[in-house]
Every structure is written in C-alpha cells, then in structure tokens.
Structure 1
C-alpha cells in the first residue's frame, strides 16, 4: 500500500495542469544501503523519516521530481532564503495522511498545520557534514518557525549500539536509520557517504500457486503465490535463482521470506525469497 501511495503521488504531480512534463529535477544526495563492517563511529546517525523529500530553493518547496509543492504561504513564511534539503513529515506511520495533504493543488490548511519540514542538509554549503549539521541547528533556531525543524543527528559507539538504536526506532513504528559520513563535503548523486539502514524481518508462508514468468522468465516460474498463517496472500517474486524458477518449490511447501515491514493490510513490504523450509 505504501508503495502504491508513493506512485499515486508521483502520477498526481505529473498530471497537474500547466505543469511541464520535464521539470527541473534538483540535484540531491541519495543513499546507499548500509552493510556490516562499516565504521559507524565515522558517521552521524539520524532517524529515517517516512515522509516526502523536498528541497527548499529559497522561495518554494520542490519535490524530488522537480515539481512545486503547494504549501500554504504561512507554512514557509519564516523559511530562510538559503536552500535547504529535507523531509516533509507528520509522524511515524502517517505517510498516507501526509501524501494526501501534500498532493493537493489547493492546500488543506488545517492538515498542513500537522506537517513540519525536517532539514538534514544544506545544498552547496561548505565544510564537513558535522559543520553543516551544526549550521542547520543554528539556522532553524534563528528562523523561529514552528514548521522548520533540524533533524536530530547523533553518534553511536559501534555496530551493536547502532542495532539497539534501530530496534528502538522500529519498535515505535519508525522506518529505520540514516548514516551520514561526518567529515563528508556536500555531494550529490548516489554515494556511500550516506547510508540507509532498515530492518529485515523473516517469516514463512505456504506456496499455493505459481505465477507464470514473462520476458526472460518465459516458460518458467515468475512468482509464487503464497499464504501466511494469518491468511494473507501475496506474490513472492524476487530472490530466486534461475534454478529455483526452473524448478520452483512444490505447491503446499513452506518457504521463508525476508521483508522490511507490513502494510496496514498486513502484507509484507519488499518481500524476498530466502529458502524452502525443510519438512518437519
């Protein structure tokens, strides 16, 4: 459901009357995925907000795709002329409400009063990320806007402390963590100076049918239709080797899959096949 809401948001932006089909897309820093072995004490850590990325160009908020976001004038009234990069956010597990608010061409002012803009980067600013993070805190304090926030940046001692922090955030319905290399200059594009860390959960489901493959998987299994012990059915289509697709797990067998979270309908997000569970 969350992915579908994001797709709807993007399609809505593109369809707005008078909006150019190819808007100016802002150059921003994009994260790589965290992996074990990282020296975590070289990074500043923050909570990964499940919001909508937005760039403030000094005059208006612009989406990651380059389209204007129609925030009320009072929302941005005390924003600085300096460009900012951040996330529009309401609260944990409130993305659908946020998306419905942000995608309106005529802003719902009552709903926008629940939104804030959480800043985590200063585009093109000099210095290290640690220095820029300090500058963000000073800037936000100086502007005195209730809708402008500095996302909290902190350090952890080691990977074990990082895992405990992740568990704490996820237990409170947070999405995960971001790690930004403390001494990094300002960069754009996808880079290892910025890492995202989300939980990976495991569960099991029963294979109830095969979904035929298409394209390079023509004549093979494209996905498994599986059912959880709670009766939730979904397609499991990634994580397979070619040999798995040629000889898929038998109907009725139990498979283990990994996932990051559940939708409000109970379906796993980013489900990935791990293995066939041996019969008991």
Structure 2
C-alpha cells in the first residue's frame, strides 16, 4: 500500500455538503497539552457508547472527497496538532463536530515505517504489531483500557518488546495531512484500516450529538465510567501544527505536569512514608500534593526531579492549583512540550 492508494480513495469518492464555519468556535488556551488517567477500569469493548439514539454513530456520515494530498510531514518538522479546551460558556454548534472519547494512553505517530512518540522518540513495537499497516502518516493513541496509563507506558516505552503488546491497539484519531477536512481524513483512515486488516490497528469510534445538553450528559457518562472526557473535532477542520480551536477537549477537571522537588514526611497512618510531594510547575509555582497516592506509592514515591501528572479544579489568586491530586508519573519519553 502506498500514497497512490490514498489518492485513489479520494479520486473515487463522492463529495459531501460543505460545513459552515459561520458559527464561532472556542478560543484556544495557552496552557501546555496534558494527559491523565482516571480511577476506575473498564474493558475496551465498553467505551464510548452513545447515551441515547441522539448520539449517532458515524457510519456513512462522511465519505472521502477529492482534495490534494500533501503530507504535512514533508514540511521538514514533525507537526503535532493539539486540542484547545472546551468551555460550556462557549457557543459552538455541536452538530458540526465529530465526538469521540479522550483516551488515556500514549500518543504515537505512525510515519509509514515506524512508530514514534510525540517527541520523536522511537517506539520499539514488535514487527508483527505494525505488519501490513499503510505507508502513510497516522496519529493515534497506544491504548488498552481506561485507568491504565502507567501499565501502557511500561509496555510501549520499553526498548524490549514482549507479549504484553498483544493487549495494545493503535487507536487512530487523525492523519497529519494538510488541506483535507477532518471528515474526509476520518473516512480515509477507516478505508486504510479496513484494507490493512490488522488486529492492532483501528480508529477511535466517532459520533455526533444534536445539542449541548446531550454533550454535557455524555461527558458526565464517560467520566462516571472512569474516562477522561470527550474530544470534539470540527468536521471541516484542516490539520494544523500546534493548538487548534477546532479541536476541543471536554473534561470535568483540569490536568497538568509538575516536577518533583521535595517530600514531606507522613504522620499518623502515613508515618514512615511520604505524606505529600512538593512539586513545581513549568511556570515556577510550587505547592504540595497529598492525595491520589496508593500505599505503595507512599512507600516508594516518584523520584526527585521526575515529572508527574496531577488533576485539579481551577487555581487560586496566587496561581496555585486547587484540590490537586496525583495521577501518575510521566515518562520522559512521553513528556509534552513544557
């Protein structure tokens, strides 16, 4: 399979109605992209189910249409598209967006020949894992199930692949191709996945919602099941390097990264263990995190100068995260740009 196959898909496809950009979209935020895991575990087969008939699966909604194929990767720098934050107060036409669950895995780029992390580090996947994959660039999430970020990272970031890779799938969510609307990129990905016929390669299920009320209910449903939240991607959006206000992440809490700079001794039931971590954000804000740790993590806390992901609910007037809670250690290979 090669780029000629991708072009042929576009040439043979039919056009879809133009989606209007007249509706304002949310303003992008300036904070770094971040990830987290959640508190419960659910099998892959049960995620991203519609809450009602109003949540419509994406079957046959968009078919590939002709547009010049220009891989963004040919521009010389590996582009990474990042999501802005959805705010309930922002007015957007939900019907113009494709919706999917936000997965808590390790983001990966398939270049057509190898898997790379967001920072361009090689992922040492077994040869069988990527066998028959298309020779075009694809963006996705290496994932197993909810609440398993650390387990996933230990599998896919190891230099020595093992049988645990059998539990991993590459969940595709985009193609880094310029001048092609997202709905078309999605249909093209689905066609490529079908031809590859690989158990390790699939697309993240996409669906549509008719109203903001249904969107809010779906966010609550996914969060209650241990998911991170939802991703909203405008059907007519082009792929762009950096943060896009046509790609939105919708969650019930914020998350960020911080560096471990110290430890506070525990008291009472935590005597002889770590009571809390002293951490510092990339902006230089220092604060303590004392919740979210297992007993094992209190006995063996994250190393000094390592990076962790934490969740929080807004900030104080001094910029300190409110109700900060530990999520997981962030591997160096998977750190976002800080």
Measure the CA separation in 2 of the matches of 1:263 and 1:225.
Answer: 10
Partner residue, 1:192: 245
1:46-85 residue pairs with structure 2 within 5 A? 46-85=100-139
Structure 1 CA distance for aligned equivalents of residues 290 and 140 of structure 2: 38
- The offset of 1:44, in angstroms, is 0.8
Q: Counterparts in 2 of 1:237-252, with a 5 A limit?
A: 239-242=315-318
* Divergent runs of 4+, >3 A: 221-228, 256-259, 261-264
Q: Is the 8 A contact 2:313 2:323 kept in 1?
A: no
Superposed displacement of residue 227, structure 1: 8.0
Q: 1:81 to 1:222 in 2, by over 3 A?
A: closer
TM-score (norm 1): 0.66
The answer to whether the 8 Å contact 1:126/1:132 transfers is: no
Contact conserved, 1:56 with 1:85, CA < 8 A, in 2? Answer: yes
**Structure 1 residues 74, 200: closer, same or farther in 2, change over 3 A?**
same
Deviations 1:92-126 (A, max 9, x none): 11111101101111111x10000000111111154
Q: Find the aligned partners of 2:86 and 2:316 in 1 and give their Cα distance.
A: 22
Q: Distance in 2 between matches of 1:141 and 1:114?
A: 20
- Counterpart selection for 2:191 from 138, 142, 155: 138
3-state secondary structure, aligned to 1:113? helix
Please give the alpha-carbon distance, in whole angstroms, between the structure 2 residues aligned to 1:25 and 1:117.
23
Is the Cα–Cα contact under 8 Å of residues 316 and 322 in structure 2 kept in the other structure?
no
Aligned residues: 215
1:149 equivalent to 2:225? Answer no
CA–CA distance in structure 1, aligned partners of residues 94 and 129 of structure 2 = 36
Change (3 A) 1:25 1:51: farther
Residue deviations 1:212-241 (CA, integer Å, cap 9, x gap): 9x9xxxxxx96478789xxxx99x997222
1:174 aligns with 2:227: yes
Q: Distance in 2 between matches of 1:222 and 1:143?
A: 48
> Cα–Cα, structure 1 residues 165 and 262, in superposed 2: closer, same or farther, change >3 Å?
farther
Q: TM-score, normalised by structure 2?
A: 0.56
The equivalent residue for 1:249 is none
Cα distance between partner residues in 1 of 2:286 and 2:126: 46
Contact in 2 for aligned 1:51/1:95 (Cα 8 Å): yes
Preserved CA contact (<8 Å) 2:36 2:104: no
Root-mean-square deviation (CA, aligned residues, Å) is 3.8
Q: 1:225 to 1:91 in 2, by over 3 A?
A: closer
Higher relative contact order (CA 8 A, sep 6+): 2
Distance 1:188 1:47 in 2: 22
> CA offset at residue 80 of structure 1?
0.5
In structure 1, the residue matched to 2:87 is: 35
Quick one: structure 1 residues 50 and 3, their matched pair in 2 at CA, closer, same or farther if it must change by over 3 Å?
A: closer
C-alpha contact (below 8 Å) 1:78/1:145 kept by paired residues: yes
SS in 2 for 1:130: helix
